Amino acid sequence: MRQQGQNPLEQWIAAKTGGDMRAYQLAKIRETLDMVTARSDFYRERYQGLPFGGVKSFADFEKLPFVTAEDLVKDGPRMLCVPQNEIERIVTLQSSGTTGKPKRVYFTEADQALSVDFFHHGMRCLVDETDRCAILLPYQSPGSAGDLLARGLRRTGCGVYPYGLIEDCEAAGRFIKQNEITSLVGNPVQVLKLAETMCAGGLAARLRSVLLSTDYVPDAIGTRLAALWGCAVYEHYGMTEMCFGGGVYCSYLRGYHLREADLYFEIVSESGAVLPDGAYGEIVFTTLTRTGMPLLRYRTGDYGRFKKERCACSGTLKLMEKIKRRVQGGVSGANGKRFYLCDFDEIIFAEDGVGDYRLAIGGGDLKTGDGNLAVGGDMHIRLQAVQGGALSGGQRPDGEAEQAFSGTQAPDGNGAKGAGGVCGRIRERIRAEMGFDPCVTLEESAPPGNTNGSNRLSKRTIEVHGRR
């Protein structure tokens, strides 16, 4: 395991940039602009007739229009800068837009090699040659996130043990135990269920580090994992459009160090103005070294900021604060204050034995605007218990028996809305901190189509039923 104070990313990035980050990034932006205007029909049309004479500075670059997910859906193939036969992998993602059409992201072999390089150096923030690292992500398809991660990890000299998404927590726990795994990478909710199941079943783990990826990471999950396993909990930020890798925590665990030699990041306001460090806004990135499907000023929809201070591990790398939510998707109460899934996460996942949840709003009048909802109806939170954990007939970690409530109980003094037990505690915290009065129920069984609920990534959403 890497010792605190060392950051392998800094030396790697310095070697690529020549030590002058800003000059390097501006030069790469200009190279990328020359390439896309020469080779891509989409960008050639997009930048035709712009009211300034080329990009000579970052101020000029900030005048360029944004690229959006809708552009990928509509014009993805026209963004390509290489012939189709040079595309090594195409990733299809379901769009959240109104058309329902998927968006596709295209990568060359060289594009994927850049991500392997980042995973090699980024993973050295938490593992070394003495570690045995399990990959709890899809890896079977060449060029998948798990495959690229495995290729990067092998360069570190550590043992690499691809496993895939968890379908059975007990089987995954035995895999961890039998292979003497000391580090693992996985989805936050799946890893939490794994940890709860292993501890409830008496399967001790020798983990020194965990890297959580593929979803937003509630602080409450990191806290629970650190308590259950006694290990350091790292986080990774990335998305398919980045070719999976974007940034990773160092040993100080204070935020993401970004792959700044391959990606240029901006934080912008709702109007599109670039914001200074310390200000919250939408995260935008530009690919600096990709050739297959370059993206310039791509709006991610994620909400975050750069910290003003540098990390103690580095004098040159910027530090992005932990990302907790999307720009849109908030829920507004009667007082107009907005709350997001991350706010519910911190309350719900703080309870031992809770493995996942669904939040639904129904009845009443609902108003929509800018992707945000005004709640006028009932709120129902359905908790999913971890099999064998504190809420399914087991014991709490502190030895105190926990009363489990089923979803069929009435919302009275001892039921889902009661003051006692996990449902009552969650309800009372949401009432006190948010002003909502939800019905909270506990479901022992997994959602339909799942054997135990562990073989799916968390789909925490705010489901809305009623008039709009």
**190: its two tokens:** 């799946």
Q: Please, what's the b/e burial string for 136-163 (b: 16 or more CB within 10 A of its CB; e: otherwise)?
A: bbebeeebbbbbbbbbbbeebebbbbbb
Query: What confidence score (pLDDT) does residue 188 get?
Result: 95
d(CA 279, CA 310) in angstroms, rounded, equals 15
Please answer whether residues 352 and 397 qualify as being in contact, where contact means their C-beta atoms are separated by less than 8 angstroms.
Answer: yes
Contact present, 232 and 251 (Cβ < 8 Å): yes
Domains in the chain, start-ordered, CATH in brackets?
1-327 (3.40.50.12780), 331-467 (3.30.300)
Report yes or no: 397 and 437 within 8 Å, Cβ to Cβ.
Answer: no
How is residue 173 written in tokens? 């726990």
Q: Are 136 and 167 in contact (CB under 8 A)?
A: no
Which parts of the chain have pLDDT scores under 70?
1-6, 51-53, 95-100, 334-335, 363-377, 387-420, 444-468
Question: What pLDDT score was predicted for residue 101?
Answer: 84
Bridge partners for 184 per DSSP: 134, 210
User: In this predicted model, what pLDDT tens digit does every residue of 232-251 receive, in sequence order?
Assistant: 999 999 999 999 999 999 99
Q: What is the pLDDT of residue 378?
A: 83
Residue 345: what are its φ and ψ, rounded to 5°? -55, -45
Instruction: Quote the pLDDT of residue 337.
Output: 84
Give dist(CA 394, CA 58) in Å, integer: 58
- Residue 4 has a pLDDT of 56
Q: Give dist(CA 214, CA 238) in Å, integer.
A: 7
Range list of H helices, 320-414: 341-348
Supply the pTM of this predicted model: 0.88
Task: Name which of 178, 126, 177, 181 is nearest 152 in CA terms.
Answer: 126
What pLDDT is stored for residue 392 in this prediction? Answer: 52
Counting runs of H as helices and runs of E as strands, what totals does the chain give? 12, 21
How far apart, in whole angstroms, are the C-alpha atoms of residue 236 and residue 404?
Answer: 34
pLDDT at position 99? 52
Name residue 68's amino acid: T
Q: Say how far residue 259 (Cα) sits from the centre of its chain.
A: 16
Distance of alpha carbon 25 from alpha carbon 4, whole angstroms:
28
Burial class (CB within 10 angstroms; exposed 0-12, middle 13-18, buried 19+) of 92? exposed
The per-residue pLDDT for 409 is: 37
Closest to 136 in 3D by CA, of 121, 153, 122, 120: 153
Q: Are strands 378-385 and 439-443 parallel, antiparallel or unpaired?
A: parallel
Contact 170, 119 (CB under 8 A): no
